[in-house]
Structure 1
Amino acid sequence: METTDQPFKEYPPFVRIHNDGTVERHTGTQTLPPSPLSDAGVSSKDVVISPNVSARLYIPHSALSSTKKLPTLVYFHGGGFIIESPFSPHYHPYQDALAAKAGVIIVSVNYRLAPEHQLPAAYDDSWEAIKWTVGLSDEWLRDHADLDRLFLAGDSSGGNIVHQMAMRAGETASSEVRLRGVVLVHPFFWGPNLSDTENEQSGFVEKLWKLFSPDVGAMQSHWVNWEAEGATPLTKLGCRRVMVCVAELDFIKKKGKEYYEALKESGWEGKVELVETEGENHVFHLFKPDCEKARVFMEQVVSFLNQV
């Protein structure tokens, strides 16, 4: 419990912020190293994109001795804009497995986190990583990336980033970022018409939201409410295929479904599909990667990435 004379503020379960500005993260800080050859047959390495942005790259090891071009996926991790990284024990094994099963190159982006770096820092860093990718700025990309099959994917806050990046791609005058499709996994959206479960969580969401965008509440923010003032119309989404994924027990499931319906009805000229996993909660596939429903979900994502 906080008291008025405490030298910090708690934002469970994520962070403690001390009065001197020091941020102490309670979770999402562990890391795993890259691997020249994993058990799944994938090579990974870390790269520096800019002073603010880095990434972990994944490629099926057999592709390194081939001239075959592979679909390219830029991935944005979740963690409420506050915790986690591509290098964590949740994300590294998942990206390793996805690269192997889908036969894709993955650029898993390490963007700056709040509260040290408030929005739109995460969006700006993510866009910088996309431009780095399409610029073929690494030999793995130059030799093996098929930019005609460029995808974005992310979960939770990363799913929100995917939406924002697809909007930027649609608004960009040049055609440097040509997206084949995007995957939003349990995406973080907010806004009016909350369900009973969402209303129970509204205080928690608004309290956290102040850490990364203090000037306006989540309900009114165009970053997470596609109908808010200043939000770009969904018709500007810069791709023609979208996969929206929700989980039955996830408290933000309703907003994910509303996004799916809004996109269908917006006049956007593309195809959107909805995938719902019954009996599971938020990002269950990261916490229980070996369960049957996680395996099924992996196959659904792989199928989307491999469609011609």
Structure 2
Amino acid sequence: MSNQIDPTVDPYGYIGIARNPDGSITRIFDFFAKTSACSNDDSIPVLTKDIPVNESSGTWIRVFVPRKVLDSTTKSKMPLIVYYHGGGFVLGSAAGTLCYEFCTKIAVEIQAVIVSPEYRLAPEHRLPAAYDDSMEALQWIKTTSDEWLTNYADFSKCYLMGSSAGGNIAYHVGLRSVTCVDHLSPLKIQGLMLHQPFFGGIQRTQSELRLANDKIFPPCVADVMWELALPIDFDRDHEYCNPTVGIKSELLAKIKGQGWKILVTGCEGDPLIDRQIQLVNVLKEKGLRVAGEFSDGGFHGYEFHDSSKAKILFGVLKNFLTIS
């Protein structure tokens, strides 16, 4: 985010957007610089490629596979992680540099195949467009004949993961997916990994009040993103934003029945931490297998900028994947 703009004074300018009179936005500059897929560079540990999903909506997926697996004479299948990028539903891309570097490191550290879907952004495409696109990507994965996926991804060990808004997407796509597990076969979801997931609500939490002037992701910036992302005329107590309102008990019961594992990570320096802890508590009350990993200090998205913290996170993810 911009260091020249006070987010509590100009939250729109802080995230690099301008609101137009007709309700649309202009993205003045993009914090999430993009990178091209690469499948022929001998110096990189992970190869990537982009594949169209829905040409009419402009969606596609980026696949990440560790080079040493592709170079091996034996076909070794690895867990499949479907990773949704962050950006408050308004910014970002599966081609973003942060997303590229993060997914590359996950693929190397965990030894997994990563598929990162590109989804349409708000306010041009308000929620549930991102959820719709993300579900469509799962349908594409299950039917694909792409050799990188059919040869190296273990479809029976699929996990949905996302950071920030992507964590929100992983949660809601999980709720949708559990109603159609038979239709997703041979794709079998085993769990959700919600990395600093983006949730909100009308009533401020203690962490939001404590970090009201946070310079990274203050509540006023989150409010703008929800204003742009939620269906028109709905507030932050909509179920897309606040998972503690209108709890989908029947869907959570299905998730419990499927035996899915759920991981929620966060840190004390993130205004969203109380929302994340609330979700963990709700899921535990419903009897789900959920683990909350919350650290001291930090800030929203700090693992993208601190390699030592990222290393710790990757260890948490690896342990989560190996727990039966």
Q: Secondary structure at the match of 2:54?
A: coil
Q: Give the gaps of 5 or more residues in structure 1.
A: 1-8
Query: How well do the aligned residues superpose, as a CA RMSD in angstroms?
Result: 2.2
Please state if 1:60 is matched with 2:70.
no
Aligned twin of 2:319: 303
Distance between the aligned counterparts of 1:38 and 1:98, measured in 2? 19
Distance between the aligned counterparts of 1:91 and 1:153, measured in 2? 12
Q: Is the 8 A contact 1:11 1:208 kept in 2?
A: no
Distance between the aligned counterparts of 1:224 and 1:144, measured in 2? 35
> What is the number of residues matched between the two proteins?
294
Aligned-pair distance for 1:254? Answer: 0.5
Q: Deviations over 1:69-105 (max 9, x none)?
A: 1111100000000111122121111111110111111
Distance between the aligned counterparts of 1:136 and 1:167, measured in 2? 23
* Length-normalised TM-score, structure 1: 0.87
Distance between the aligned counterparts of 1:38 and 1:281, measured in 2? 35
Shift in CA distance, 267/175, structure 1 to aligned 2, threshold 3 Å? farther
Distance between the aligned counterparts of 1:96 and 1:78, measured in 2? 16
Shift in CA distance, 222/35, structure 1 to aligned 2, threshold 3 Å? same
146-155 or 188-197, which moves further after superposition? 188-197
Please state if 1:275 is matched with 2:279.
no
Aligned-pair distance for 1:257? Answer: 0.7
Shift in CA distance, 117/38, structure 1 to aligned 2, threshold 3 Å? farther
> Identity over aligned residues, as a percent?
28
Distance between the aligned counterparts of 1:39 and 1:91, measured in 2? 19
Q: Deviations over 1:175-206 (max 9, x none)?
A: 52521111000111123653234244555433
Distance between the aligned counterparts of 1:162 and 1:181, measured in 2? 10
Q: Give the gaps of 5 or more residues in structure 2.
A: 1-10, 213-217
Aligned twin of 1:3: none
1:17-36 aligned within 5 A: 17-19=19-21, 21=24, 23-36=26-39
Q: Secondary structure at the match of 2:75?
A: coil
Letter of the aligned partner of 1:48 in structure 2? P
179-188 or 36-45, which moves further after superposition? 36-45
Q: Is the 8 A contact 1:170 1:239 kept in 2?
A: no
* Length-normalised TM-score, structure 2: 0.83
Shift in CA distance, 129/137, structure 1 to aligned 2, threshold 3 Å? farther
Letter of the aligned partner of 1:18 in structure 2? N
Aligned-pair distance for 1:232? Answer: 2.1
Letter of the aligned partner of 1:215 in structure 2? D
Aligned-pair distance for 1:35? Answer: 2.1
Aligned twin of 1:258: 278
Aligned twin of 2:188: 178
Distance between the aligned counterparts of 2:25 and 2:302, measured in 1? 31
Q: Secondary structure at the match of 2:266?
A: strand
Q: Deviations over 1:245-303 (max 9, x none)?
A: 011100000010111111000134xx211111221111101122x2x222111221122
